[in-house]
Amino acid sequence: MTPDDLTQLPLITAQQNVINTQFAQWLKKPLTTLNQVATYNFHQNAARLVSAGIGYALYLNSHSEVPQSDLAFIPLMPELTSNTSLIWSNERPPSAAAKFLIDHVYQCQSRH
């Protein structure tokens, strides 16, 4: 699925700015040039809309598993990937329990 392919299709897009910024870079044009028929903020709901035949969803896939058996993923070409961060306020000191989690996240990082 290339940028040119996508411009032909009815699309269901995420409401996340971070995804949409990346996606617009991949597309090399603003999202407003697309045929956006719906937006979502919860994966399963996007899957339901696709299942109902409303359009094609742009979907952040974490686990390579389709959410429903009647759906298939089409990889974007070129591939578009992202990763995540654990964040916490820099104005409020973390609780004792929260400090343990931070410690374990650093430990998991250093082991890989």
User: Minimal distance in Å, beta carbon 35 to another protein?
Assistant: 13
**If you write DSSP's letter for every residue of 94-111 in order, what string do you get?**
PPHHHHHHHHHHHHHHHT
> Out of 4, 28, 32, 70, which residue is the one contacting another protein (CB under 8 A)?
70
When asked if residue 48 is in the footprint of another protein (CB under 8 A), the reply is no
Q: How far is the CB of 4 from another protein (least distance, A)?
A: 13
At residue 43, φ and ψ (nearest 5 deg) are: -50, -50
Chain Cα centroid distance, residue 32: 18
Candidates 18, 33, 35, 45; binder of another protein (CB under 8 A) is: 18
**14 near another protein, judged by CB under 8 A:** yes
Q: CA 42 to CA 68: how far, in whole Å?
A: 14
Q: Which of 32/48 has CB closer to another protein?
A: 48
Residue closer to another protein (CB basis): 22 or 36: 22
Nearer to another protein, 32 or 85 (CB): 85
Query: By CB under 8 A, is residue 37 in contact with another protein?
Result: no
Applying CB under 8 A, what is the total number of residues that bind another protein?
69
CB 69 within 8 A of CB 49: no
Reading the block at residue 55, the tokens are 């359009």
Task: Say if residues 47 and 69 touch (Cβ distance below 8 Å).
Answer: no
